[in-house]
């Protein structure tokens, strides 16, 4: 690895065993907030697991879980405010859920139904972006619009560690700096881009330091410490809203599952590395803290898990009961006004489906 | 001899050529330890080492641009893009440099690169994973665009592509990666790059197609045979530069032509073929040329993608239509 760049700080509040390292942030003094973070991480883990099982039984397309990275997405989602704008990548269900994207919408998207990107509540957020790092550049434009209109809102966009190698990543950092935009980038550094380990992506010691050349602030955060993620992202968002400019946050975590359901990580992930990473995962971390502090009783914990499971089961049942869009819907959203040539093709499809 | 799938044939060709020519290098995302997301490069890293089988950082611009640099140095890069929809960050280097280097330097430098990418729909993949944009590349002077449709042709055409002195965009129809197996002798024998393949002879109608659509087109020919119609099937294989002679000879014989492709219709490769038939074969025609293609829409997500694909029924409908012309 290259030389560590001095000045890149790493933030965490809980140590590996879930003990507070010092003073915890103000928001984390609220017991119900902490319990909520705990619930959300569990909800996402249960949801992910359920979606994978749907995929295995042919009721779902390819899906990317956030196993092990729930601290990152839940922390970010919790820090965002309603009026902020979110520009996601594809491993963000913990954020999407808190943006009030419904679980059923997330399942629809991965299940191959475009209606999953309609987003009933968070109308200004962008849909999941699969072409790596492209979304970061959109976020620059969104943030520019916010700034142009002098709104007090922040924009947040995410990508993976692999995403930081794309040209679009550098382009976005540079643009954010050029106009001092109200923009927060968060890298979910889960150490893998499919089978390619973080070390092959770059010789740079941290991904956070890539911000230096763009002239913008950056920081690393322990992504398995949801309190730290929540705090660091909140600070960056507040700075963005008040005109302080962009921030790049590198959240350090580990992908405990396969890249997607189409992948088999056992081909390339060392079992002992995986075992080590499991010991650091975010849910146990927070749970230890909550238990030590007597914030969470065994009974409450059980209750939380049960309600999460019920919520997921309910959403899955609704998803399975959905009927697909009518076939001709494939034509209906290409243009605001249907060109006549396309209408002809639509008629052709309709005729082939209902010849009489 | 063991029968192999199309994807295994790609692997076999890479193995053969890397062993034969030490200038051949393979690069891309996940091509090393993982052997490629579709397993095209399995075993290469073990055999030829990570210096010749290169796991790159996640950047298609890096993959396509560094291939230009490698190739002008005499290496023969075989670059893998994970999906056709992810070739676009690498587009600039292919269009502005790989395709033009020979011309710009009056032949002093050239780019014998193979850009491989799986393409096409029908495997229930996520968004952006189902594109068929071969026409984009076919439009570019200086490029060859090659699409195999069987294990044997994948093997022979890939060898030809690697040995070709100019850049080749080699698109692999992933829907038929594992659909059927064939014996493919590992003789290192390349197939011609500038020729269509006549897969079936017939005197009544010419069906022109390529890639995964070969599969549906063959089924159409079988149905037509039951009706007493003899269809000739042409696998274009090399989309650019296209072997119009084979197509025109066939149309001259049959007087009827249906072009079938999965890509959207507007300005698709079918338009080029139809235009050339109009220019050079109009007097042979007994009926208008037809295109059966994907619609001019974004490839739908998996639930509705089957309505996008040209089905056997849709192709048959067009064939019946033009058979009615006397
Ligand atoms: C432009 C582009 N190239 C390739 C891919 C295929 N692909 C999907 S995910 C992925 C790895 C991404 O790794 P990383 O950025 O670390 O995110 P992670 O999946 O680990 O969260 C690749 C190569 C893609 N989606 N887009
Ligand atoms: Mg990653």
Q: Any idea where the domains of chain B sit in the sequence?
A: 3-183, 197-323
Q: Which two tokens stand for residue B120?
A: 């096409």
Do the strands B231-235 and B197-200 form a parallel or antiparallel pair, or are they unpaired?
antiparallel
Q: Which of A341, A346, A352 sits opposite B317 (nearest CB)?
A: A352
Band the pLDDT of A354: cuts 50, 70, 90. confident
Residue located nearest, by CA, to atom 6 of ligand 1 = B82
Tens of pLDDT, residues A279-323 = 999 999 999 999 999 999 999 999 999 999 999 999 999 999 999
Q: pLDDT by residue (tens digit) across A73-93?
A: 999 999 999 999 999 999 999
Q: Which residue has the tokens 């640099």?
A: B69
**Surrounding residues of ion ligand 2, Cβ less than 5 A:** A 160-161, 190, 192-193
Q: Is the pLDDT of residue A1 over 50?
A: no
| Option in A166, A263, A327 nearest B307 (CB) | A327
Tell me the C-alpha to C-alpha distance, in Å, between residue B256 and each of A130, B228, B243, B291, B319: 42, 15, 18, 12, 9
Nearest CA to ligand 1 atom 17: A160
Hunting for tokens 């009926």 — which residue is that?
Answer: B287
Residue B253 to residues A247, A293, B153, B236, Cα–Cα distance (Å): 68, 86, 25, 17
- Mapped onto helix, strand or coil, the DSSP state of residue A236 is helix
What confidence category does residue A247 fall into, taking pLDDT thresholds of 50, 70 and 90? very high
B301 and A61 within 8 Å at the Cβ level: the answer is yes
Planar angle of CA A345, A347, A351, nearest 5 degrees: 120
Atom of ligand 1 nearest to the CA of A198: 16
What is the spatial distance between Cα B78 and Cα B292, in angstroms, rounded to a whole number? 32
Enumerate the β-bridge partners of residue B77. Answer: B25
Domain B3-183 matches domain B197-323 at the CATH topology level? yes
Assign residue A190 the CATH number of its domain.
3.40.50.970
Q: What are the helix (H) ranges across chain A?
A: 31-56, 70-79, 93-98, 103-110, 134-148, 167-178, 198-201, 226-241, 271-278, 282-292, 298-321, 329-332, 340-353
Do A225 and A348 have their domain in common? no
- C-beta atoms surrounding B103 within 10 Å: 11
Residue A2 banded pLDDT, cuts 50, 70, 90? very low
Record the tokens describing residue B264, joined without a space: 């959207």
Structure tokens at B139: 């439009």
Residues A351 and A303 in one domain: no
**Domain B3-183 has what CATH class?**
alpha beta
**Residue B142: is its pLDDT beyond 50?**
yes
- Integer CA distances (angstroms), A319 to A59, A109, A305, A311, B247, in order: 10, 11, 21, 12, 49
Q: Are residues A194 and A330 in the same domain?
A: no
Rounded to 5 degrees, what are φ and ψ at B25? -125, 150
CB contact under 8 A, B34 and A267: yes
Distances (CA, A) of A290 to A38, A43, A70, A285, B27: 9, 17, 17, 9, 48
Model confidence at B82, in pLDDT bands (50, 70, 90)? very high
Question: What percent of chain B has pLDDT above 70?
Answer: 100
d(CA A69, CA A48): 11
Both A333 and A266 in one domain: the answer is no
Whole-number Å distance between alpha carbons of A194 and A186 = 19
Percentage of residues of chain B with pLDDT beyond 90: 99
CB A161 within 8 A of CB A191: yes
Same-domain pairing of A282 and A353: no
Closest CA to A49 of A29, A35, A63: A63
Among partner residues B58, B89, B301, which is closest to A196 by beta-carbon distance? B58
Q: Please tell me whether the interface predicted TM-score (ipTM) of this complex is above 0.85.
A: yes
| Cα distance between residue A91 and residue A251, in whole Å | 14
- Residue A330 and residue B317: Cβ atoms within 8 Å? no
Q: Which two tokens stand for residue A196?
A: 């390619």
Domain count across chain A: 2
Structure confidence by residue, pLDDT tens digits, B148-194: 999 999 999 999 999 999 999 999 999 999 999 999 999 999 999 99
Distance CA B185, CA A131 (A): 38
Of all residues in chain A, the percent with pLDDT exceeding 70 is: 98
| Cβ of B300 below 6 Å from ligand 1 | no
Give Cα B121 to chain centroid, integer Å.
13
A186-243 pLDDT, tens digit per residue, is: 999 999 999 999 999 999 999 999 999 999 999 999 999 999 999 999 999 999 999 9
Contacts of B96 (CB under 8 A, 6+ apart): none
What are the tokens at A198? 């973080």
Instruction: Give residue A237's domain range.
Output: 2-325
Evaluate whether B30 touches B36 at the Cβ level (below 8 Å).
Answer: yes
Q: Does the beta carbon of A190 lie inside 6 Å of ligand 1?
A: yes
Quote the pLDDT of residue A260. Answer: 98
C-alpha of residue B42 to centroid of ligand 2, in Å: 22
Residue B144, H or E segment? strand B144-146
B54 has which bridge partners? Answer: B27
pLDDT score at A4: 55
CATH hierarchy code of domain B197-323: 3.40.50.920
Are A130 and B59 a contacting pair at CB < 8 A?
no
Helix (H) or strand (E) holding A219: strand A217-222
Confidence of residue A5 (pLDDT cuts 50, 70, 90): low
Note whether A334 and A280 are same-domain residues.
no
Q: Which residues pair with A76 in a beta bridge?
A: none
* Mean model confidence pLDDT for chain A: 96
Cα–Cα distance for residue pair A10/B63, rounded to 1 Å: 32
Residue-wise pLDDT tens digits, B183-208: 999 999 999 999 999 999 999 999 99
Indicate the pTM of the whole model: 0.97
Q: Does the N-terminal peptide bond of residue B241 adopt cis geometry, omega within 30 degrees of 0?
A: yes
Residue of A78, A91, A241, A255 marked active site: A255
Q: How confident is the model at residue A352 (pLDDT cuts 50, 70, 90)?
A: confident
Contacts of B43 (CB under 8 A, 6+ apart): B11, B15, B35
């Amino acid at each position: 690895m290259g030389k560590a760049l001095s000045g890149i700080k790493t933030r965490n509040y809980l140590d590996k065993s879930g003990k507070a390292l010092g003073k915890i942030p103000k928001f984390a003094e609220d017991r119900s907030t902490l319990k909520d973070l705990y619930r959300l991480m569990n909800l996402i883990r249960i949801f992910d697991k359920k979606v994978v099982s749907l995929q295995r039984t042919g009721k779902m397309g390819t899906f990317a879980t956030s196993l092990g990275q729930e601290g990152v997405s839940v922390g970010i989602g919790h820090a965002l405010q309603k009026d902020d704008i979110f520009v996601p990548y594809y491993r963000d269900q913990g954020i999407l859920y808190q943006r009030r994207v419904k679980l059923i919408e997330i399942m629809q998207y991965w299940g191959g139904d475009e209606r999953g990107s309609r987003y009933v509540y968070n109308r200004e957020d962008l849909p999941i972006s699969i072409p790596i790092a492209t979304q970061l550049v959109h976020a620059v434009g969104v943030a520019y619009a916010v700034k142009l209109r002098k709104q007090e809102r922040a924009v947040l966009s995410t990508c993976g560690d692999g995403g930081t190698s794309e040209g679009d990543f550098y382009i976005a950092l540079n643009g954010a700096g050029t106009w001092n935009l109200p923009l927060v980038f968060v890298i979910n550094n889960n150490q893998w881009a499919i089978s390619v380990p973080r070390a092959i992506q770059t010789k740079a010691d941290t991904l956070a330091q890539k911000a230096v050349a763009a002239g913008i602030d950056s920081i690393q955060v322990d992504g398995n410490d949801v309190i730290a993620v929540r705090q660091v992202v909140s600070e960056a968002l507040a700075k963005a809203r008040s005109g302080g400019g962009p921030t790049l946050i590198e959240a350090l975590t580990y992908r405990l599952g396969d890249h997607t359901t189409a992948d088999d990580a056992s081909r390339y992930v060392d079992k002992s590395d995986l075992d080590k990473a499991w010991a650091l995962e975010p849910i146990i971390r927070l749970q230890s803290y909550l238990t030590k502090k007597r914030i969470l009783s065994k009974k409450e914990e059980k209750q939380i898990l049960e309600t999460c499971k019920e919520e997921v089961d309910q959403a899955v049942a609704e998803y399975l009961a959905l009927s697909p869009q009518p076939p001709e819907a494939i034509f209906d959203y290409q243009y605001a006004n249907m060109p006549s040539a396309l209408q002809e093709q639509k008629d052709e499809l309709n005729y082939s489906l209902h010849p009489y | 001899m063991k029968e192999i799938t199309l994807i295994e044939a790609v692997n076999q060709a890479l193995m053969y050529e890397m062993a034969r020519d030490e200038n051949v290098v393979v690069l891309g995302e996940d091509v090393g330890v993982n052997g490629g997301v579709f397993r095209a490069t399995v075993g290469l890293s073990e055999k030829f080492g990570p210096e010749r089988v290169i796991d790159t950082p996640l950047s298609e611009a890096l993959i396509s641009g560094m291939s230009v640099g490698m190739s002008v140095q005499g290496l023969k890069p075989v670059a893998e893009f994970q999906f056709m929809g992810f070739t676009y960050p690498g587009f600039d280097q292919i269009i502005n440099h790989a395709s033009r280097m020979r011309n710009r330097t009056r032949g002093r430098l050239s780019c014998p690169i193979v850009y491989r990418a799986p393409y096409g729909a029908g495997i229930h993949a996520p968004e952006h994973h189902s594109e068929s944009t071969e026409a984009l590349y076919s439009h570019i002077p200086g490029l060859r665009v090659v699409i195999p449709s069987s294990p044997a042709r994948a093997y022979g055409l890939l060898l030809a592509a690697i040995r070709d002195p100019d850049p080749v965009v080699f698109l692999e129809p992933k829907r038929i990666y594992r659909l059927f197996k064939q014996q493919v002798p590992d003789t290192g024998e390349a197939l011609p790059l500038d020729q269509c393949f006549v897969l079936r002879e017939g005197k009544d109608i010419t069906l022109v197609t390529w890639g995964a659509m070969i599969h549906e087109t063959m089924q159409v020919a079988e149905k037509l045979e039951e009706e007493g119609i003899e269809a000739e099937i042409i696998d274009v294989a090399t989309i650019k530069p296209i072997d119009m002679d084979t197509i025109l000879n066939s149309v001259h014989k049959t007087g009827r032509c249906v072009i079938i492709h999965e890509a959207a219709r507007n300005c698709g490769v079918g338009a080029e073929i139809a235009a050339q038939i109009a220019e050079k074969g109009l007097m042979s025609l007994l009926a208008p040329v037809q295109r059966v293609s994907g619609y001019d829409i974004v490839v739908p997500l998996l639930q509705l993608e089957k309505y996008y694909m040209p089905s056997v029924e849709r192709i048959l409908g067009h064939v019946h239509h033009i058979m009615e012309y006397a």
